[in-house]
Amino acid sequence: MSTHLSPSRTHSRRVNPHTLSSGKLHHCCGSSSGYHICVCGCCRHDLRTAPKTVTNHDRVRLNGDVPPPRPAAPRRQAVADTLHVPQWSSGIQSWAVARMVVEAQGRDNVVLLFADTRAEDADNYRFNTDASALLGVPLTVVRDGRTPQEVNRDERWLGNSRLAPCSHELKQKVCRKWLQDNTDPASTILYVGVDWTEPERRPAIERMWAPWPVEFPLMSPPYRPKDHWLRESRAIGLEPPSMYRRGYAHANCGGACVRGGQAQWAHLLRDNPSLYASWERHEAEMSDLLGREVSVLRDRRGGASARLPLAVLRRRAESGDSELFDPYDWGGCGCMVDTIGGAA
Ligand code: SF4
């Protein structure tokens, strides 16, 4: 299959329009010429209804291309008493950032700040213990004490990809409180594990954490994909969170992140049906509590947007017909770095 990507804003591929109308899955044939309907070559978005921007991540995944280096951001002058605070999510990229910071700054003035949602996968907590021991820096754990489902009940709002109060209550607020109580913004640097594939998120993240300055070590060259950090971790004897091996794109909240898409939830159904069932029940309880039907997911097939209850997604996924849900909609990962209003 051709791996050429147009420099234009879409990563469109030409596909046989007859396959689109046949009711079959849209297979990208890449090299076929003369066809005129475009779907995204990697996630099969129908670009007629949902144009999509090519990201650096797409380029590397499809082409093996590495983008030209951007000029490095001016680094702040390191001073001996500066406190360095990598935000620890229990995922592999937060470990990569923490390791860079410890290597550059030593251990003494580093705080690994972990906001515990009480809903992480059990193996993430194992990873936390192992990684912290190898880095030689204990985790500083902050907790609201509630789970995402408890926050939904309290806030009378079912979190979803556009508005997730659990993110604000369980992560952003508790971390900010710890920073206010324990640090001086003038002598503290935060570090966030968003990488070079998402540079557009940087300004919103910096605004959100102001007045604390934020650095993004994974946005600077050399650019590495997530797989690189998984290999690096294993190479030093640190087994990454098992969620990656089990096929999740992100290691958040046990695979039941309300910001996740249909593919994440369908995967959770296969991997952890009891957790899926608890969210299916929770969604129904929230509808009862609010007196109206609410759902975590939306069905946007055909350009329209409609509620997609987890019970309906389960039936569609169990039917084995991948036409009935979007198996490429993994959704985003922005719990610690997006504003409460949604993805930045
Ligand atoms: S990872 Fe997802 S479910 Fe968990 S707290 Fe963040 S937004 Fe909520």
> Considering the chain, what is the average pLDDT of its residues?
81
Residue 325, pLDDT score:
72
Domain count, the chain: 3
pLDDT digits (tens, 9 = 90+) for 253-263: 999 999 999 99
> Which numbered atom of ligand 1 lies nearest the CA of 253?
4
Residue 319, pLDDT score:
87
For ligand 1, the distance from its centroid to the CA atom of residue 35, given in whole angstroms, is 41
| Same domain, yes or no: 290 and 225 | no
Residue 57, pLDDT score:
54
For ligand 1, the distance from its centroid to the CA atom of residue 259, given in whole angstroms, is 7
Q: Which domain range does residue 44 map to?
A: 12-63
Residue of the CA atom closest to atom 3 of ligand 1 = 257
Residue 303, pLDDT score:
77
Residue 241, CB-side half-sphere exposure with 13 Å CA sphere: 27
pLDDT digits (tens, 9 = 90+) for 235-252: 999 999 999 999 998 899
| Same domain, yes or no: 95 and 196 | yes
CATH number of the CATH domain containing 102: 3.40.50.620
Phi then psi dihedrals of residue 46, to 5 deg: -80, 110
Any domain includes 230:
yes
Residue 192, pLDDT score:
96
This prediction's pTM: 0.76
pLDDT digits (tens, 9 = 90+) for 83-120: 999 999 999 999 999 999 999 999 999 999 999 999 99
| Same domain, yes or no: 47 and 177 | no
Any domain includes 111:
yes
Any domain includes 101:
yes
Any domain includes 336:
no
Burial class (CB in 10 A: 0-12, 13-18, 19+), 307: middle
Contacts of 176 (CB under 8 A, 6+ apart): 209
Any domain includes 128:
yes
Tell me the Cα Rg of the chain: 21
Mean pLDDT for back-to-back runs of 10 residues, the chain (344 residues) = 34 36 34 36 47 50 50 52 96 97 96 98 98 98 98 97 94 98 98 92 94 97 93 98 95 95 94 98 98 94 87 91 73 61 33
| Same domain, yes or no: 99 and 146 | yes
| Same domain, yes or no: 293 and 158 | no
* Cα gap 140→178, rounded to integer Å: 10
DSSP β-bridge partners for residue 88? 114
Any domain includes 192:
yes
Site to substitute for ligand 1 among 252, 310, 336, 337, most atoms within 8 A of C-beta? 252
Residue 331, pLDDT score:
72
> Which numbered atom of ligand 1 lies nearest the CA of 250?
1
Any domain includes 289:
yes
Any domain includes 3:
no
Residue 255, pLDDT score:
96
| Same domain, yes or no: 270 and 158 | no
| Same domain, yes or no: 96 and 53 | no
| Same domain, yes or no: 94 and 230 | yes
Site to substitute for ligand 1 among 124, 170, 257, 296, most atoms within 8 A of C-beta? 257
